Amino acid sequence: MNVLNVHDLSVEYAMNPGVLRAVDHVSLVVESGEAVGIVGESGCGKTSLGLAIPLLLPANATIASGSIEVSGEQVVGRSEVEVNLLRWTKVAFIFQGAMNALNPLHRVDAQILEAISAHEPDVPKAVAYAKVVELLNLVGIATKRARSYPHEFSGGMRQRVMIAMALACRPALLIADEPTTALDVISQAQILNLLLELRRTQDLSLVMISHDLAAIKRVCDRIVVMYAGIVVETGTTDEVLGRSSVVASPAHPYTRALIQAHPSLRRERSLSEGLAGHPPDLSVAIQGCRFADRCPDAQSLCREVEPPTITVSPGHSATCHFALGEAS
């Protein structure tokens, strides 16, 4: 069964005046045990997509179309109380800037305890507390540190606490929004290793939102590239980013540009090539391909006709006229 089935989802923000469609008819499927990475620049709708799944969008955002099924249960249109039953038990999340999601005035064990008792009020306190300690140990925090305040922890440790909290109610799916951002490389590696291990031991499916291709490559099986609110390319990580044995074959020029912009240890030593410009303003209608203005290979066709989604190989598709090399 798919733990997550997002179909044709659109998210709109009310602007003054008009609306901004941050997520535009996006579909996303996560199978049980799978890890899916969502990459793209800032402002491409990654976080809006992530927040929409547990219905935690800010007040000025609405879901304009589509459906979201978490473990087979429809989320869109449900009441706050009903969605609350799904949150943390079926789908848990690590927010962007999660280290600041801890209340500085409460001890970390109390905050995890809050998560457990909010969803399992019948569990006796001692049992719940034992679970807190177990969870903290699971993410590599010693029992004697459980009664610390958040400010006594490093950024990486706070991130671990958030992961522990996310696992408190044994969710099937974990959505991690930029879980390694604002951490130093050592902590990043530790958090990624932890996520990998938890995937294996806790039978967890993962949606990881990041602009860090290396992090995604390490953790995820499949990758979804978002640009200006739409999915421009999706495929296995091996196909899109390459692995030691598989040569990368990104089909969309935006994916190629993202890879180019990312420094690599193995590639020839050179300054990474940046991509000029920035994503288009989504509050005005765009004709043709959304990436055409920045695309090095753009033709007149691209500026006039919106490109179709082309299947490059089974499970690998791209939204580009030239995904197969020539205009289709």
Partner 1 sequence: MSSTTSGPETSSDPGSNVIRKARSSVWRGVWTDHMGRTGVIMLGFVLFIILIGPLIFPFNASAFGSSASSILQGPSRAHWMGTTELGQDVFRQFLVGGRISLYVGVSATVIAILLGTGIGLVAGYYVGWRDTILMRVTDFFLVLPTLPLIIVLAALFGQSIVVTSLVIGLTSWPQTARIIRSQVLSLRERPLVLRARSLGARDVRIMGLHILPNVAPLIFANLVLVLSGSILAQAALAFLGLGDPVQASWGTMLHNAFNSGAMSEGAWWYVLTPGIGIVVMVLAFSLVGHALDRVMNPLRRGAR
- Cβ proximity to partner 1: between 88 and 322 the closer is 88
Among 37, 40, 50, 54, binds partner 1 (CB under 8 A): 54
First and final C-alpha spacing in the chain = 34
The answer to the question of residue 13 lying near partner 1 (CB under 8 A) is no
Spell out the alpha helix ranges (H) of the chain.
46-52, 80-86, 108-119, 125-138, 155-166, 185-202, 213-219, 237-241, 253-261, 300-304
Smallest distance, partner 1 to C-beta of residue 180, A: 16
DSSP for 183-211? Answer: S-HHHHHHHHHHHHHHHHHHT-EEEEE-S
The answer to the question of residue 46 lying near partner 1 (CB under 8 A) is no
Among 13, 88, 291, 322, binds partner 1 (CB under 8 A): 88
The answer to the question of residue 104 lying near partner 1 (CB under 8 A) is yes
Point out which span in 30-38, 104-112, 200-208, 298-306 binds partner 1 (CB under 8 A): 104-112
Using alpha carbons only, give the angle 222, 294, 16 rounded to the nearest 5 degrees.
90
Among 3, 53, 102, 213, binds partner 1 (CB under 8 A): 102
Smallest distance, partner 1 to C-beta of residue 140, A: 21
DSSP annotation of 27 reads E
Q: Which amino acid is at 211?
A: H
The answer to the question of residue 115 lying near partner 1 (CB under 8 A) is yes
Smallest distance, partner 1 to C-beta of residue 294, A: 32
Point out which span in 81-89, 136-144, 182-190, 306-314 binds partner 1 (CB under 8 A): 81-89
Among 95, 153, 227, 254, binds partner 1 (CB under 8 A): 95
**Each residue of 176-191: b (16+ CB within 10 Å) or e?**
bbbbbbebeeebbbbb
The answer to the question of residue 84 lying near partner 1 (CB under 8 A) is yes
Of 25, 30, 88, which Cα lies nearest the Cα of 54? 88
Smallest distance, partner 1 to C-beta of residue 84, A: 4
The answer to the question of residue 73 lying near partner 1 (CB under 8 A) is no
The answer to the question of residue 119 lying near partner 1 (CB under 8 A) is yes
The answer to the question of residue 118 lying near partner 1 (CB under 8 A) is yes
Name the 3-class secondary structure at 83.
helix
* Distance (Å, whole) CA 187 – CA 165: 18
Of 175, 153, 167, which Cα lies nearest the Cα of 108? 153
Report CA Rg, the chain.
21
Residue that has been written with the tokens 């499949």 in this structure: 222
* Distance (Å, whole) CA 310 – CA 318: 5
Site for partner 1 in 292-311 (CB under 8 A): none
DSSP annotation of 281 reads P
Pattern 156-185, partner 1, x by CB under 8 A:
---------x--------------------
Structure tokens at 307: 């490109």
The answer to the question of residue 98 lying near partner 1 (CB under 8 A) is yes
Site for partner 1 in 222-281 (CB under 8 A): none
Of 144, 217, 134, which Cα lies nearest the Cα of 168? 134
Binders of partner 1: how many residues, by CB under 8 A? Answer: 26
- Cβ proximity to partner 1: between 56 and 298 the closer is 56
Point out which span in 144-152, 215-223, 245-253, 320-328 binds partner 1 (CB under 8 A): 144-152
Structure tokens at 82: 């009903």
Smallest distance, partner 1 to C-beta of residue 90, A: 13
Residues that bind partner 1 (CB under 8 A): 54, 56, 84, 87-88, 93, 95-98, 100-107, 114-115, 118-119, 147, 149, 151, 165
